Structures are given as structure tokens and as C-alpha cells.
Chain A
Amino acid sequence: MAGSERWVGKSLERFEDAALLTGRARFMDDLEPAAGLCHAAILRSQHGCADIRSIDVAAALALPGVIGVLTPDDVAAMSNPIGNMVSRKLRYYPCAVGRARYFGEPIAVVIAENRYIAEDAVDLMEVSYVPKPAVVTIADALAPESTILHEEYGSNVVHERTFRYGDPDGEFIKAAKVVSCTVDYPRVNSTPIETYGVIADFDAGNGRYNVWSNFQGPYAMHPLVCDALRVRGQQLRLISSPSSGGSFGIKHGVYPYIVLIGLAARKVGRPVKWIEDRIEHLAASSAATGRATIIDGAFDETGHLLALRLKQTENVGAYLRPPDPASLYRMHSTLSGPYRVRHIAVENRVVVTNQVPSGLNRGFGGPQFYYPLERMMDLAARELGINPVELRLRNVVERFPYETPAGSVLESGNYRRCIELALERAGYTELVAQKERARREGGIFGIGMALAVETSASNMAYVNLALTPAQRSKQLPKSGAAGRARVIMDPLGAIIVHVDSLPNGQGHRTVVAQIVADEIGVKPEDVEVITDLDTFGGAWSITSGNYSNRFSTVVASAVAVAARMAARKLRAAAAKTFGVEAEAVQLLDGMASAAGASNEPVPIRRLAMQLHWDAGDLPDGVDGSISELAEFSPDTMTVPDEQDRMRSSLTYSFQCDLASVEVDAETGRVHVHKYVSAHDAGTLLNPAVVEGQLRGGFAHGFGAAMLERVIYAADGTLLSGTFQDYLCPTAPELPDLGVAHYATPSPNTIQGAKGLGDGCSMIAPVAMANAIGDATGLLDLTPPFLPGRLWELLRGGAPDLVLQRPNTPPPGESRKELSGALRGRGTVVIESARKRVWDALLDPEELRAIIPGCESIEQTSPETFRAQIRVSIAGIGALYEAQVRIFDRKAPERLRIAARGESKLGFGQGEAMVTLEETESGLTQLTYEYGADVGGRVATFGQRMLDGVVKVVLADFFDRLRAHIRGEKPAGSLRQRVRRLFAMLQAFRGRM
């Protein structure tokens, strides 16, 4: 080690930024790496669950500019299902083979000369769906009558395992207090601003796929993709994009598209580019798992946590997609959190639902675990009458290293001090006083705290906890969590470093340069860092990638090791020149010197030249090539033992978040008064970069707490499918974040750094929940705390009225109640006898004239009709294939109509109860009451408008009925009829 100036620990400006700030950085969609590039668009399912009867691609293929179509049959014929660790019967292809299992699932790929034509062709494809009742929630998945998503597998529960550490049952019997907390943690999507992208080229000569993508690793997916594509490793060349526009984990999930677009390129014999659009991304990229947890804590009378019992049910979406069920097991050996609890019982279960498959999203299994744990701690504090801060202080780990019941070794830390730091930083004493003052004045003020241990540099072996010890024994153990780096010096002394961390914007190039500068005695700007990864070269392994905070831990360590190897050679060369021992050589500020030597200092770049040119004359064990590959793979990591104990992570950081909030009872709005986050992430390599991670992690965590959720209607339609509905926090919403650091260096990494990339994303939701719980007294809290949801909770209601609708049974079944989320009623007086109106409602010929946009109608049985209807509101229109059933008839008084229609824009179903009454003047008063659901694209994009649209469409129908019976010719367009319609709408609008 040498250097008068240490670069590590400095907040250097980033070397990445000049290119990013001038538009010179190249991202995925900027690449044109192969001649003859064509473009893909993907036809996607508009149903949450539907069997696919047929796909008509003829019209698409006939469109000029279309090169080809990849169908599910092609995919099944050309590839293997992507493997998972549970069962071959859970078949996962990158598109819907036979059955579509989530809204937005790829069905077919059109390849065309440009994206515009490709999308035109998608619109020309006809899919014949047979919709099934969707399995949307965990409760749906477990209900015996629900659709089985994977019939071959036979159950929606795809994994179950129980674990026991210590004697939890005994402790629960002994406990003075048992506190229970139930949480249904929602799903979120880390949604970076750059979406997925893949360019694939198939070289028929050697059967090789050349693929460019913004895949972020882990490269363990490389063999998985090879297997799916039915090729050997050398036949899949995977090249990363030079820059990646954010990931937060989610860009691991691009790998199924590497398969899909690879197959498309192979089919058309041309390189194919596919850039995911935002709508595709929000519907079908990936989302964090949802998790239903029942957590019980056993406490003694002084508030010591004796035992934990966890029942976790994980919603992984439609497929068990690797690396899941990893989300469920990432925290497993740290289920004790930061606490000294020794006895833990766990029941784990994984279910599939008609939702987007899960995968890496910032926090990866952390938020889902810490939310119930830390909510339970707050509920316990309440029940025990102990201050929540005090309760935590009584239970946190005090002595390090500390081995957790499930095998993690928390290597260093001072949790108590870090908590105290957060309290100091937040001015806790004053906050408490402020809370009391606010409450005296009727304010709803609360303080909440949450703690977390953040695991870093995981060895992926934790996924194997999903297998029993017997199952595991048949597998290759996976203990490694390697980081790789190569340091090269050329004859002119240029230093080039390759690393395998595949950054998505974190500034790795800058930090690597700082580390190397310190080790070799040069300036950071003398170090060129290459983060591109190409499986045909460079320093990659299956563990490569950007996940699990592996950069600051194993990659940064590998960089230091490789740089030291290079420095050793430089010293050897200098030692020869100076005639001293290598240990006496100092590398500093670009110069080599040795104390006591008579020679003038020698430029380090000259040593590089010397090594290159004069390799024949070096000491034993030193050669002239400076191309030093280092792998940092600590042997302290283990695989699960017979008792399911393992140490799966290299370092364990600690954090304490503290929030104080004031809730506006009238609006349900939460005002964050103060938010502080204190961290122990060991040595900080570049504090400004660290700060960036913390603030970014906080934005994700705060978003999950207050705004974001992936949400589906009961029919499986995604309701958070645009940036209008998936609410990312913007600048005005984010409160100020106070940051504090207390560093206890990790003995497990070279620089002493731990990880903190997940940071506040793991516990901001529960810190906010605890503050809101403290303020409002509400016990049952599920994020996001949108004003409307909190307002409903404050008045004792359910937070999601709109969504609480039963899985709609097929229309036309006799029930008393109408179903459907969109409700309404209307009345129209028709200047005719009741019998006449009744007949018109049942006569196909008359109905054709009455139904707006009706292009054809035929009676298929005494009770049923089939029709083609063009529905159009404000130019938003499509042709619907509709089936109508009339039942519960009592001529000429009442009937019920059930209808279901489907178009390219979406589908709808609904029911109306129609009653006909004779008025005193012999006219007919028609009253209708309806319930309807609208799904598909139109519902995803226009959820806010549906209520009004359905209302207008129905009012229009009955108005036309009236006009028709009066013998008026209904006018052509809705717009022209609107004057009359308006009068009718007034009938059920508040008169003001």
C-alpha cells in the first residue's frame, strides 16, 4: 500500500458523467451492432388467464414490411421451457404456449422493417381466447374452486417447506406475551427509466446466438438461457450495452426475452431488435413478490424477544421464474433481523397467481420480511407498554461477530450506537415533545422507527434452502460469491481495469479507479475502467452482475487484489532498478522510489515498459505480463447444512430509519415532518456515491410506502399499467432525507466496505407505517398509504373499495345481486305502450337499429344473441364481438340482460336489470340498473374514465330505444345525439 493521497473515501466527481451529460453515452436502443437490423413488436395477452384457441397471423404476414411472425408453436418447437428448481411440470416459456397466464404475457412476436410496421401487424393478428376466471390474490390461489394455473402441475401452491431453529414452541409456551401481526405486502416494480432491450442475431453457420442486451446478471442465467435455446455455452455470446439506464434488479428479468428474440432472429434469419416500451414494462417485465405473512413474537415480561414464528406465503406471479423462490429465502438466515432472538419457526409457501412473474426488484425479499417484523415490534411495544425505541434497544445484537440461529454471521457493528445516532440526528427528544404538543392541539402526529440488517454479496446457495437436505445432496453445492477483476498495464503505462459488476448507473468506474489509484500509486484519471461484459472475453463468471451489493464487497475487493498483484510486479521491476528489496519500493504519485536507494524516483509507467520489454530479467515468480486476474471468493461463506443453517452472505450492514409524520384527517394526506436514516455500511469507498445510493433507495422505499403498487382487477386486468397509474414519486413528493453514518469496517472485505444498495428501500415502508400507526392508532396497515386509502382506514373502512369485488362469475347466472365494479342506473320515459317496448327489446331486427354501432346481430337461441358492435366514445372505439343473454323474464314487466364483448382494445361484461312500468298517462317508464366490468387495454389506460363511458353508452342505448319506438331515425354518431342524451344524464346526476 502506498500513496500520500488516499483516493478511496473521497467524494470524487464521476468519470461516467461527462458522456452522460452530453448525450454521448450509449444505451441499449442506441446500438445498431449488426447490419440489416429489423424490429420486433410483441402481441400480448389482454386476459389475465385464458386458453388460446388459435392465432391468425395471415393478415399480419401480408402487411408490407413485415418479415415474419414467431408464434407459440414455433417457440415450443425451437426451445425448451426455462428451467426452475421445483418442477419440470411448471413449464415456463418466454411466451404463452397454450395458455396465457397474466395480463401482458407475450403471445407472438412480429418482426418487421421498423417498429411502427411491427405494431401495425400486431394489431392485425387475431387471437381466439377462452377466458378463465383469474387467480389474482393469494387467497384466490389457495381457494379450492379457483382455476389451476398450471394444470400439469396440479396445484397453485408450488412450494412448501418448514424450518425450525432452537425450540420456538417451548419459548412460545414460556412467553409472557405473544404478539401477532398479519400483513399482505403488495407488489412493486422498480421500473427504471430505461426499459429492457435485446438485439439478437443468429449465426446459422455455427449455430450461435449473438445477443446484445441490458441484462444485469447474475450470469447464472447464461447457462439457463443456453438450455432454453438448446445450445452450448459457446453458442450464446452475450454482450452488455455500454450504458444501462437504471435497473434496481429488474433488468435480470430481461433473460426470457433473450430467448424469445433469439428465436425470432433465428426464425427470420436477420438480426432483430426489440426495445420494451413502458406499457410492456409495467405489465410484463417483473415485479417484486407479494407476500402474506403472519408473524408471532414471543416476549418475556421485560420485553425480550424470545422466539419468532413466521408463516409466509409468497406470490410469485404466473410462473416460478428463476431465481425465485429466491426472494423468499434471501433473508432466511437473517430472519432474526438485528435481534438476539434464538428460536425461530418458519412455514413457507409459494403460490402462483395470474400476475406478472416476480424477480429481482430493489430490496429483493427485504421489504417483504422487514415490514411484518418491524410492524410486530411496534405492536409489541404497544402491548408491553414499552417505548418502541427502547424495546428495540433491549433486543438488538450487542456483541460481534454474532451468529444468528439460522447461520448468518453478523461480522461487525454497533447497532446501539447507530440507533442512538439516528435519534440524535432526528432530535428525538424534541420530536417527542413536538408530538405531545401537536396532540394536545388535536394533531395526528406520530414517530416510527425501523431497523434492518442488509445482507450483501450473497452466494445464491440460499435458493437451495427451498430444497430439502435430501434433495440438496443430489446437487452441486454453490458456496461461491465471487467478484472478478483484471488489471492490465500496457507498455506505455496505461492502466486498464475490467470488472464484472455490470453497473446500471452507480458509478462503479469512478470507484474502481479510486481503488486502483491507491494500490498502484497513480491518479484515478490514469485508470481506465471497463465495465462492459462479453461472455466471449473479459472477467466474467456465473456470479457476475449487479445484484446483492456485490460491487462494494466482492468486486471492490477483487479490484484491490488484482491491483496489488500488478503493484507487486511493478515493485519487483523497481527493486531491480534500485537494487533494493521489493518491499522497500514505494509507489506514489505516479513514481516509484525506495528509501535509501541512490537512484532518482522512476515513473511508474516506465516500470510498465520495463516489464514488457525486459521480461527476461525478472526475479523468480514474476513475469512481464501485467494482466492480473483476481477472483475474490471468501471461504467464509457456506452452503446450507443438514439443519438448514448457512452463511449465505459475506457482509451484513445495519440501518436505522426514523420518521415523524403528521396525518391530515380530512384528506388522508401524510406530511413527513422528518426522516432520518443512519447506516453502518463499513468503510465508504466514495461517500457521494454512497449518498446517491441511499437517497435513491429512499425514493424507492418511500414510493413503495406512499404511492406505488402493482395492482390488478379481479378479472386479471392490470390497473397500474401506465405512469399515470403506477405512481413513481417525483421531486415534490419526496421529503428531505437526513443521513448519518457510523462505520464499523467489515473484516471480510479488503477495504472494509459492506453494502447498502437496497438501503432505505427495505425499511422506509415500515418506518412510515410505524409512524402512521403511532399517529393514528391504526393497527392494521398495508402500504401504499395513498391519501384515499388512509382516509378510508381512518373512518374504519376498507382501504380499497373499488377493488373489493368478487371474482365475477360468468354473466347470466341467476343471482339476486348485480356484480361489477361499475354501477349505475337510469330512467327513460318512452311514449309508447309497455308491450311495444318489451317487444322491441327482444327483437333482433329492432335491436340492430337501436344498439349504437351495431353492425350485425343474430339470435342464437330463444334467450341468446350474438352481435358485432362498434363502441366508440370520443374516438376511443373498437369493434366488439358480443354475446348477449336475456333471462329472468317476466313479460312485459322486467328482464335481465347479461352481455359480454371482446375487442382488440379490451373486453367488457355486464348485466342490467330492466323494469318497465306503465305511467298514469299510458306511457312506459323504463328503469335500468346495471353492473359492469371492463378489462383489457382500455381498462388499463382509461380506468379513470370507465365509469363515465359505461354510463354514456348505456344511456345512449336506451335513448335510441325511445327514439326508435317514436319512429325517429337515430342519428349516426354519438356526438350528434348528445343533446338528448345530456337531458337523460341529468336524470341521475346531482342537480346543481
Chain B
Amino acid sequence: MKPAAFKYMRADSLEEALSVLAKYGDDVRVMAGGQSLGAMLNMRIVSPSILLDINRIFALSKIESSDTLVTGAMVRQADALSDAIVRREAGLLAQALPHVGHYQTRNRGTLGGSVAHADPSAEIALVLATLGGEIELRSARRVRRVAAKQFFRSSLVTSRGGDELITALYWPGASPDQRTAFVEFAVREGDFAIVAIACVFQEVAGRMRLGFGGCGEVPQVVEIPITTGTSTRSVEEIAQHLSKQLECRSDLLASSDYRRSLATTLARNAMMASMEKARADA
């Protein structure tokens, strides 16, 4: 199980990387943390003519927060997990990160790489979509920011152009009344989620955003009005109602019915958890 030969290009700067992409476009496969790509290369299900290694573009490893938390594409998952700013500004991401792969893959895997790979079960993509975050894409020609909702198109398919590189992720700031919850169901710890739910409850605004991951090909996000006073029974009904409208895939581990049922259960649990936090803090 050895990769096919590729031309190896290691960019030392963003400009270098973008010029490679401008020149070779779809012939290039960008390697960030490589925790999915490395396996696909070894299995030879992906055999690009050029592998562009962006691990030395240190400018992409920054975590910054002015108005909005911005994480460079090459921020390692482990670093994000232990970062105080991330914990403060994007609590939902901090809650989701322990579910991403394993201790060892988080040491190497990156936030941007996970978003670029667009696995239907990816937690980082789910959180980004649920928070209404954006993906910064750069090419030699331009910079653009795409809402996560528009970015993910299908399993492994995104709207990134062949000459574009994901450079940063924008995580909208949390309002003071915001309470979040992240729950996930996988067969084994670290496995791809069969269903993952990201939940953002804005108590004062009386709104809740729920992101469903693992169900369909891409994260599915919905916003509903709800208050802390909502009864358990109503929460249950809402969860059921929302799950009915979900796109749910079938695979070896889960039929679409099972996914839908799990989505109901987990959505209920996530809603209850976020509301409980709000009540506890009040």
C-alpha cells in the first residue's frame, strides 16, 4: 500500500502555494494535515500528479480574534482544542473537537484540511455551518469568503475552485446569551459519526440553531424559535418534526431510518443540554 509517484511541491509561502494552484489547478492535491489524504494516497484511490504541501506556510497557523474568531487553515486540531481563545470564542468548536478522529490524528489534522475534505460526518464542517461561519478562499486572482452553507456541496465535493486554497475559517462571535451543545453518536470512539448534532441556543433572542451532521451528504442546519420554558415534550416533538425533513443516507452501519431516529434522539438531547445550561447559568 504505497502511493503512486507524485511531483512534490512544498510551498514556503502563501504566494508560492497560490501560484502553483494557478498554474496546475485540478492536477494539484493540497496536503494539509494529511490524515485523510495520506490514507487515500496510500490506497491509491487518489493519485494526483502534484502534491502541494502547505505545512510550512506558517502564516496559515494563526488563531486571531478581533471581531470574529479567525483560525488559519493550518491550525492543528489539537492546537485549537487546547487554545483558550477558541474555547472562549467558539465554545461549540471546542466541544466538537474531542470527537474529531483520535488524539494522534488531531496532532496533525488541521481545521482547514477537514473542511476541504468535506466528509459528510465531519464535525468541524458541521460546527462551522451551524454557527453560520465562513470559509476564506484565496487564489492568485482574488480572495473570497463563502458561507459554509454554500461551501459544502456533497460528500467530498465543495465549491472550492481548482485554483483556490482554503486559507482561513471565520467563526462568528458568540452572543452573551448563547449556550451550545454538541452530541455525537459513533460506533466506536473516534469513528465517523453516524449522526452528530451541533446546537446553538440564544436564550434572549429565543432562537436555536441546530446542525445535523452525518445524516446527509452535507451539514444540514435549521433555525427554530424556542425558549427555556419549552416543555420536554415539546422539545421531543420539535426534534421529531425536524428529523422528518432531514436527508438521511444509508450505509453499512446505519439505514436512513436509523439515522433519522438517532437524529431525533440526539437533537432532543442537544436541545435539552443547551437549555439546561441556560437555566443553570440563570
Does the CB pair A974–B157 fall under 8 Å?
Answer: yes
The contact of A975 among B40, B161, B222, by CB within 8 Å, is B161
Known A116-B2, A985-B153, A990-B246; contact A905-B45, beta-carbon cutoff 8 A: yes
- Interface residue from A116, A667, A786 paired with B262 (Cβ < 8 Å): A667
For the complex, is B84 an interface residue (Cβ under 8 Å from A)? no
* Docked complex Cα distance between A440 and B116 (Å): 50
Chain A contacts for B45, CB-based, 8 A: 876, 905, 937-938, 941-942
The reply to whether B189 and A727 form a contact with Cβ atoms under 8 Å apart is: no
B173 within 8 A of A: no
List, in ascending order, chain A residues with CB within 8 A of B150's CB.
982
Q: Do B46 and A876 touch across chains, with their CB atoms under 8 A apart?
A: yes
Q: Decide if A119 is an interface residue (CB 8 Å cutoff).
A: yes
B265 close to chain A: CB less than 8 A: yes
Stretch of A85-93, A260-268, A842-850, A946-954 contacting B (4+ beta carbons < 8 Å): A946-954
Confirm or deny: B232 has a beta carbon within 8 angstroms of a beta carbon on chain A: no
Question: Are B189 and A730 interface neighbours, CB within 8 A?
Answer: yes
B159 close to A982 (CB less than 8 A) = yes
Chain B residues with CB under 8 A of A727: 187-188, 191
Question: B120 on the interface (CB 8 Å rule)?
Answer: yes
**Quick check: B220 and A990 within 8 Å, CB to CB?**
yes
> Whole-angstrom distance between the alpha carbons of A788 and B250 in the complex?
11
Task: Name the one of A873, A942, A992 contacting B222, with C-beta atoms under 8 angstroms.
Answer: A992
Which residues of A have CB within 8 Å of B145?
Answer: none
User: Interface range on chain B: under 10, 10 to 19, 20 to 34, or 35 or more?
Assistant: 35 or more
Is the Cβ of A947 less than 8 Å from the Cβ of B251? yes
Which B residue sits closest to A719, measured CB to CB? Answer: B252
Give the contacting residue for B157; candidates A803, A874, A992; CB below 8 A.
Answer: A874
Q: Name B5's contact: one of A120, A973, A975 (CB within 8 Å).
A: A120
Complex contacts, A669 vs chain B, CB 8 Å: 185
Residue A801 lies at the interface, judged by CB distance under 8 Å to chain B: yes
| List of A residues within 8 angstroms of B188 by Cβ | 707, 727, 729-730, 732-733
A787-B187 in contact (CB<8A)? yes
User: Is the C-beta of B206 less than 8 angstroms from some C-beta in chain A?
Assistant: no
Distance in angstroms between the alpha carbons of A979 and B157 in the assembled complex: 11
In the complex, the answer to whether B156 meets A874 with C-beta atoms within 8 Å is: yes
Q: Determine if A791 and B157 form an interchain contact, defined as CB atoms under 8 angstroms apart.
A: no
Q: A905-B45, A944-B251 are in contact. Are A873 and B157 (CB under 8 A)?
A: yes
- Residue of B43, B118, B155, B253 touching A786 (CB-CB under 8 A): B253
Which A residues from 68 to 107 make CB contacts under 8 A with B? none
* CB of B194 closer than 8 Å to a CB of A: yes
A711 neighbours in B (Cβ, 8 Å)? 252
Chain B, 225-261, contact with A by CB distance < 8 Å: what is the 0/1 string? Answer: 0000000000000000010011101111111011001
Are B189 and A990 within 8 A (Cβ)?
no
* In the complex, B18 has a CB within 8 A of chain A: no
Whether A730 lies near B190 (C-beta < 8 A) is yes
* Residues on the A chain within 8 Å of B162, using CB: 973, 975-976
Bound CA span A985–B157, Å? 12
Task: Identify the closest chain B residue to A668 (Cβ).
Answer: B258
The listed residue (B4, B29, B48, B251) touching A123 by CB distance below 8 A is B4
Interface assignment of B82: CB less than 8 Å from any CB of chain A: no
Distance (whole angstroms) from the CB of A610 to the closest CB of chain B: 58
Contact: B247 with A989, CB < 8 Å? yes
A990 touching B216, Cβ below 8 Å? yes
Q: Return chain B residues, CB-CB under 8 Å to A123.
A: 4, 44
Contacts A733-B188, A941-B45, A978-B153 given: A948-B120 contact, CB under 8 Å?
A: yes
Task: From A667, A945, A948, give the contact of B265 (CB < 8 A).
Answer: A667
The docked-state distance in angstroms from the alpha carbon of A947 to that of B215 is: 12
Which B residues between 1 and 19 are near A, CB-CB below 8 angstroms? 1-5
- Does B125 sit at the interface, judged by CB under 8 A? no
With A667-B185, A732-B188, A989-B216 as known contacts, state yes or no: A119 contacts B44, CB within 8 Å. Answer: yes
Write out the residue numbers on chain B whose beta carbons fall within 8 Å of the beta carbon of A788: 194, 253-255, 258
Interface size on A, residues (CB 8 A): 61
A791 touches B222 (CB 8 A): no
Question: Which residues of chain A from 786 to 802 have a CB within 8 Å of any chain B CB?
Answer: 786-788, 791-792, 801-802
Q: Which residues of A contact B159 (CB under 8 A)?
A: 975, 978-979, 982
Does A991 count as interface, using CB distance less than 8 angstroms? Answer: yes
B250–A981 touching, CB < 8 Å: no
User: Is B153's CB under 8 angstroms from A982's CB?
Assistant: yes
Complex interface residues of chain B between 71 and 116 (CB less than 8 A to chain A): none
CA distance A294 to B39 in the complex (A): 43
Say yes or no: B265 contacts A802, CB within 8 Å: no
B134 neighbours in A (Cβ, 8 Å): none
Question: Considering the complex, which residues of chain A in the window 689-729 have a beta carbon less than 8 Å from any beta carbon of chain B?
Answer: 707, 711, 719, 722, 724-725, 727, 729
Contacts of A945 in B (CB 8 A): 120, 155-156
Instruction: Name the interface residues of A937-990: CB closer than 8 Å to any CB of B.
Output: 937-938, 941-945, 947-949, 951-952, 973-976, 978-979, 981-982, 985, 989-990
Interface residue B192 (Cβ < 8 Å from any Cβ of A): yes
* CA distance in complex: A876, B39 (Å): 13
Question: Does any Cβ of A come within 8 Å of B154's Cβ?
Answer: yes
Tell me the minimal C-beta distance from A446 to chain B in angstroms.
21
B265 x A975 contact (CB < 8 A): no
Q: Does A277 contact B (CB under 8 A)?
A: yes
Q: Are A952 and B157 in contact (CB under 8 A)?
A: yes
Tell whether A894 is near chain B: CB-to-CB under 8 Å: no
Contact A948 B155 (CB under 8 A): yes
Q: Is B217 part of the binding interface, using a Cβ–Cβ cutoff of 8 Å?
A: yes
In whole angstroms, how far apart are the Cα atoms of A725 and B29 in the complex?
Answer: 25
The interface residues of chain A lying within 8 Å CB-to-CB of B43 are 279, 722, 937, 941
Please indicate the chain B residues that have their CB under 8 angstroms from the CB of A990 in the complex: 216, 220, 245-247
Name which of A669, A874, A973, A982 has the most chain B CB atoms within 10 A of its CB.
A874
Which residues on B sit within 8 Å (CB–CB) of A943?
251-252
Contacts known (A279-B1, A666-B261, A730-B190); A978 close to B157, Cβ less than 8 A = yes
Distance of A444 Cα from B185 Cα, bound (Å): 20
Within 8 A of A (CB), among B32-46: 40, 43-46
Interface string of A778-817 (1 = CB under 8 A from B): 0000000011100110000000011100000000000000
Bound together, the chains give a CA A803 to CA B257 distance in angstroms of 15
Choice from B4, B189, B250 contacting A120 with Cβ under 8 Å? B4
Q: Residue B160 at the A interface, CB < 8 A?
A: yes
* A278 contacts chain B at the CB level, 8 A cutoff: yes
Which residues from A are CB-within-8-Å of B154? 948-949, 951-952, 985
Instruction: Specify which chain B residues have a CB less than 8 angstroms from the CB of A14 in the assembled complex.
Output: none
Contact with B along A569-586 (1 / 0, CB 8 A): 000000000000000000
* A802 vs B254: C-alpha distance when bound (angstroms): 8
Residue B208, interface by CB 8 Å: no
CA distance A444 to B132 in the complex (A): 40
**Residue of A whose beta carbon sits closest to that of B121:** A944
- A975 CB contacts on chain B under 8 angstroms: 26, 157, 159-162
Q: Report A980 CB to chain B, min CB distance, Å.
A: 11
* A278 touches which of B1, B121, B262 (Cβ 8 Å): B1
Q: Is A472 an interface residue (CB 8 A)?
A: no
Q: Which residues of A contact B253 (CB under 8 A)?
A: 786, 788
Residue of A whose beta carbon sits closest to that of B256: A801
The one of A875, A947, A949, A951 that contacts B46, using a Cβ cutoff of 8 Å: A875
29 contacts between A and B (CB under 8 A): A116-B5, A119-B1, A119-B4, A277-B1, A666-B265, A724-B192, A730-B190, A788-B194, A788-B255, A792-B255, A802-B251, A802-B252, A874-B156, A876-B40, A941-B40, A945-B155, A947-B155, A947-B249, A948-B120, A949-B155, A951-B217, A973-B26, A976-B161, A978-B153, A978-B159, A982-B153, A982-B159, A989-B216, A990-B247
Besides A279-B1, A667-B265, A952-B153, 5 other A-B contacts (C-beta < 8 A): A115-B2, A724-B191, A949-B155, A952-B157, A992-B221
Q: Which residues of A contact B (CB under 8 A)?
A: 115-116, 119-120, 123, 277-279, 666-669, 707, 711, 719, 722, 724-725, 727, 729-730, 732-733, 786-788, 791-792, 801-803, 873-876, 905, 937-938, 941-945, 947-949, 951-952, 973-976, 978-979, 981-982, 985, 989-992
Shortest 4 CB-CB contacts between residues of A and residues of B: A948-B155, A874-B156, A277-B1, A948-B217
